[in-house]
Amino acid sequence: MSGFVYLVAWRFIGLLPQNISDLLFARIARIQYSKNGKAVQQLRHNLSVVTKLEGAELEPVVEAGMISYSRYWSQVFRLPRWSDQEVLRKVRVVNEGLILDEIKLGRPVIAAVTHMGNWDLAGRWFAIKLGRIFTVVEHLKPERVFKAFLNYRTKIGFVAFPTKDRSTVPNLLTALNEPNLIALVSDRDMSSSGVIVDLLGSKASFPSGPASLAYKTKAALVTVEIYNDGDGIVIVVEPEIEIQYLAPKDLEVKRVTQEIANRFSRHISSHPQDWHVLQRVFLDA
């Protein structure tokens, strides 16, 4: 999709009634599913690992996954137009105090998040509560697409730093000097220095960033599950992962990253159709 199409979609999709927008994107998802392109094939493979289903039993989950993914995009193109009240109505949060109370007490928080539900909508909810949140975004090409996404996330309350930029880690460390929330999508490694973990019984590479930052800054590290519910989402915050600061850093980062993977395995298994990963995740499957 060209940068021009993204810009047009952000401008005009928001003018549609939500039910019309959702129906339109669901129709597009069904067409994509029927064409069975590489993205659909990869999603099918990923979901077969998650669900242990095959053949005709798996296909309804794959189709539901494509529709759920299309719903994410329908909401993305509408999200900057939603009022704070509309966002608060669409989002239900379980254990919000595990993040908000820590911030109020002056302690920064790192939230490790999966590609589930609508993580942008979840971030907007926390940005409303906290004023802003910090995150890292993939530096997409062409540049105009990246700038469009950067502008979009700025509008919804994110301070976003690009991946593979030398200033990103120093900027995150600076943010963690104060009681801020950093949300990091953590179920797919986009570097060459990931941690190999067991995810749902198969090997995967996860980013070391959440565990490494928590070890270095003593910020609270939590995991967050997001799944669709009605016309909105549910956010479930799980308790802080305790860091053993006296343990060697490399070993502790591996241990903590595996704990993140263990929690993500439960999240994904509970709502597999809402896990939007159309890229290769599993290394041995």
Domain spans of the chain, in order of start: 1-81, 85-272
pLDDT recorded at residue 285: 63
pLDDT at 147: 82
pLDDT at residue 3, as a whole number: 55
Q: What is the pLDDT of residue 1?
A: 52
The per-residue b/e assignment along 88-124, b for 16 or more CB within 10 angstroms, e otherwise, is: bebbebeebebbbebbeeebbbbbbbbbbbbbbbbbb
Measured CA to CA, the distance from residue 136 to residue 199 in angstroms comes to: 22
Q: How far is CA 267 from CA 36, 40, 133, 231, in A?
A: 26, 21, 23, 20
SS3 call for 60: helix
pLDDT tens-place values along the chain, 285 residues long = 555 666 677 677 878 888 898 999 999 999 999 999 999 999 999 999 999 999 999 999 999 999 999 999 999 888 988 999 999 999 999 999 999 999 999 999 999 999 999 999 999 999 999 999 999 988 767 777 788 788 889 999 999 999 888 899 999 999 999 999 999 999 988 777 799 999 999 999 999 999 999 999 999 999 999 999 999 999 999 999 999 999 999 999 999 999 999 999 999 999 999 999 999 999 976
53: which 2 tokens?
């289903």
Determine contact, residues 282/203, Cβ cutoff 8 Å.
Answer: yes
CA dihedral for 214, 180, 94, 113, sign (positive or negative): negative
Q: Residue 202 phi/psi, 5° resolution?
A: -130, 160
